[in-house]
Structure 1
């Protein structure tokens, strides 16, 4: 699917992509090895990172339905800090990224509740 997205964006000259993936794709969650279940997510991230798009990949923790906006981010290569994050928090970050297109370009962000 990521290849189709990148190809379509290239064909239409759309550059900004906010892509939601999963925590653990870079083995960044201390004490956890998610192995092959995350292989499709890893491959998608690789395809996007190899593109010329202005991407931001989000790697949220397990979702909660709490009515709160409370999150922190980590960069690719940093250990993941928490195990959960609210859907509202992820939505808040997506809106910030969409409204400020130059924010966190060509980055992969872990997202969790502090």
Structure 2
């Protein structure tokens, strides 16, 4: 059993991961978010909710007491780089090493072809740049991190995905949030996997110029 801190615990992928972790594991989950009223605790014995700001290193450090692993499901193009710096700083002070960091596809310009061009058109100009900078903060730390770069996200009720790595071309165009949550759960259950790696996540056989739902 591990004590897992989930940052951005009300995010859609985070909530799916929380459900899967409660169902399939015995881990204790500390759920960190800006507005605690937005979450409903289903198992008080295994869930602790902390209200706080992920740009505040001291609030994060306090939340990291007795934690084994941090899963950061943070967002916001205006704050994501600041949040990355705060998380790294807090983990260093807390002497924590293992971090799972949710990012986005395209931060290495790794998406090929027509889909890569479409992805740039959608994400350039205020989104891709900050997420690229945030990922660099994580990669330049001394943490045992795994960066997760999902394809365009769907709410499909399926778990079906494949992985690429930092130096690989990205595959596919889309992936379900349930699939990303499943990957996060597997990384939490085996924190020795994919350390200091950056994983692209896509549903097989979804190649094309853009996701099917566009």
Judge same fold: TM > 0.5, yes or no: yes
TM-superposed CA distance for 1:77, in Å, is 1.4
The reply on whether 1:98 has 2:180 as its aligned counterpart is no
Partner residue of 1:18?
100
Alignment map for 1:1-114 (pairs within 5 Å): 1-31=83-113, 32-33=116-117, 34=120, 35-36=124-125, 37-114=127-204
Structure having the higher Rg: 2
1: CA distance, partners of 2:130 / 2:109: 14
TM-score normalised by the chain length of structure 1: 0.96
TM-superposed CA distance for 1:94, in Å, is 0.1
Deviates more, 1:27-36 or 1:58-67: 27-36
Partner residue of 2:76?
none
Q: Secondary structure at the match of 1:69?
A: coil
1: CA distance, partners of 2:149 / 2:143: 18
Q: Which runs of 5+ in 1 are unaligned?
A: none
TM-superposed CA distance for 1:83, in Å, is 0.6
2: CA distance, partners of 1:64 / 1:39: 23
TM-superposed CA distance for 1:90, in Å, is 0.2
TM-superposed CA distance for 1:14, in Å, is 1.1
Q: CA RMSD of the aligned region, Å?
A: 0.9
Q: Which runs of 5+ in 2 are unaligned?
A: 1-82, 205-214
Q: Secondary structure at the match of 2:175?
A: strand
TM-score normalised by the chain length of structure 2: 0.52
